[in-house]
Amino acid sequence: MPDASPLEFTGERFTPECVREMAYEHWHRYAWAAELVEGREVLDAACGEGYGSHLLAARAARVTGLDIGQEAIAHARERYRRDNLAFDCGDATRLPYDDHCFDVVVSFETLEHLEAQDRLIGEFRRVLRPDGFLLVSSPDRKTYSDETGYDNPFHVRELYRDEFEALLGRHFPASRLFGQKLLFASALWSLSGPGRPQVLIDEEGAVECAAVPDLAPLYFLALAAAREECLPEVPGLSLYADRQESVYRHYNREVAAHIRAGHLLAERDEEIRHLREQLERPWWRRLFRQR
């Protein structure tokens, strides 16, 4: 990857310089998608800074990243270079491509930034080949905004699950829905061979067993296609981690800092208590240091 100045982070687009939770969420989506695009021609619609298109191009036959931001595309062209990777500037709701020219369309965290969501999904269907498929993600309005009170200033229209599924259903007869959420979990895996997935959920001391996490997702990811047989096989559970364990290291640093601060506060409290005792003594006892 050639050296290039980072694209300024404004909160609207993810950049690879972001760390911890946001990085896990965004990199996981593209790493998950990369497993499905081997040998295919891919459109990464609303590609932003270009890191995801670059990741997909390591596996795909060809990747075209498209974004409406001229600065983002100029940056992507400078930073990410592969023989099978190109970047175009354009509007995802009016794609500058012929009908049926891509095997896969990938578009992560785009829907919620637009009002013209039907037109966007319709354009994705138009440029896909008859046996192609769409990979799309969007936050769940219920868990992302309603339950947290968070108002993302860059989001125009967030969708509830039924709205998301209805939108896809108007354009793609076949779809499968996945949930994504950053979890604090203990991982235990076989070192001697494969096994079936098992997820253990602790509910106030009562442990329940399931094949997938029984938790409310923060984001929805969907596979969609014209026919069920066009949908690729995907594992029911996908875990993502970085070898640097950045989130865990940050957690440990914050806990250590909190403990140090606690010790310092205890020392200060003891010092204040001692000074107050001194001040509460009669002046003549303080003067002669007697009780």
Per-residue pLDDT tens over the stretch 227-254: 999 999 998 899 888 888 877 777 778 7
Q: What's the order of all strands across the beta sheet hosting 85-89? A: 85-89, 62-67, 41-45, 102-108, 128-139, 219-225, 174-180
Give the pLDDT band of residue 110 (cuts 50, 70, 90). Answer: very high
3-state helix, strand, coil in the chain (%, to 5): 35, 20, 45
Copy the structure tokens of residue 74: 């100029």
- Is pLDDT above 70 for 149? yes
CA-to-CA separations, 289 to 68, 82, 265, 282, in angstroms, rounded? 77, 80, 28, 10
- pTM confidence score: 0.82
**pLDDT score for 246:** 79
Residue 184: phi, psi to the nearest 5? -100, 110
Cβ within 8 Å of residue 210, ≥6 positions away: 198, 199, 201
Q: Average pLDDT over the chain, rounded to whole?
A: 89
Separation between Cα atoms, residue 131 and residue 210, nearest integer Å: 33
Taking the CA atoms of 63, 64, 69 and 71 in sequence, report the sign of the dihedral they define: positive
Helix locations, the chain, DSSP H:
21-34, 51-57, 70-79, 117-127, 141, 161-169, 246-280, 283-288
Select the more confidently predicted residue: 185 or 52: 52
Give the pLDDT band of residue 201 (cuts 50, 70, 90). Answer: confident
Give the pLDDT band of residue 34 (cuts 50, 70, 90). Answer: very high
Q: What percent of the chain has pLDDT over 90?
A: 60
**pLDDT score for 245:** 80
**pLDDT score for 202:** 85
CA dihedral 158, 24, 47, 104 (to 10 degrees): -90
**pLDDT score for 1:** 46
**pLDDT score for 24:** 87
**pLDDT score for 8:** 66
Task: Collapse the DSSP code of 108 into the 3-class scheme (helix H, G, I; strand E, B; otherwise coil) and give the result.
Answer: strand
What is the average per-residue pLDDT within 251-279?
84
Separation between Cα atoms, residue 30 and residue 109, nearest integer Å: 11
Q: Which CATH class, in words, describes the domain spanning 21-183+215-241?
A: alpha beta
Select the more confidently predicted residue: 275 or 170: 170
Please say whether the beta carbons of 77 and 55 come within 8 A. no
**pLDDT score for 203:** 78
Q: What percent of the chain has pLDDT over 70?
A: 90
Closest CA to 48 of 82, 16, 72: 72
DSSP class of residue 176 equals E
Closest CA to 146 of 98, 69, 216: 216
**pLDDT score for 211:** 83
What is the average per-residue pLDDT within 56-65?
98
